Structure 1
Amino acid sequence: MPVSVSEMVLKIVLLFLVLMGVLAMFGKLHLLGFGNGRRGRKPAKCPSCGRYLIGSGPCPCRSSKKKG
């Protein structure tokens, strides 16, 4: 029994939507380890000067090397 083009397109669209739903569930559960894990947290700031801390190093205001 031959399948019409419209039935084939419908099957492809439904398969795509199901796969997108499954990927969305994995993304919500963080089972695959994706995401940065910082959702809902505020960015870190230096307690003395208030600059945003980028990376794991110390803040430039607390650096032992002073320019000048």
Structure 2
Amino acid sequence: MIVKIVTLFLVGIAVLAMFGKFRVPGSDAARRLAQRRPGKCPRCGRYKLTRGPCDCRKIQG
């Protein structure tokens, strides 16, 4: 009896995992997370945390 319950539980978890895998790649949450990542400065490679120019441009130029 316990073996049957454990088997059904594992099959149910596997089915839920397959449905989750189908939904994740095109989800809105994944796109929003990708938009929140800060960009990098093309000149020095540091992460830009603000919208203004990077510190390397403020000092030298």
Tell me the TM-score normalised to structure 2 length.
0.61
Q: Runs in 1 of length 4+ with deviation above 6 angstroms? A: none
- Greater Rg by CA: 1
Say how many residue pairs are matched.
53
Q: Cα RMSD over matched residues?
A: 2.2
* Aligned mate of 1:14, from 8, 11, 18: 11
* Larger RCO: 1 or 2 (CA < 8 Å, sep 6+): 2
* Aligned mate of 2:46, from 52, 55, 59: 52
How big is each residue's C-alpha offset from its partner over 1:3-60, in whole Å with a ceiling of 9 and x where there is no partner? x111111110000011111111111222xx223336xxxx6333xx323233233200
Can you give the 5+ residue segments of structure 1 that lack an aligned partner in the other structure?
Answer: none
Amino acid at match of 1:27: V
Identity %: 13
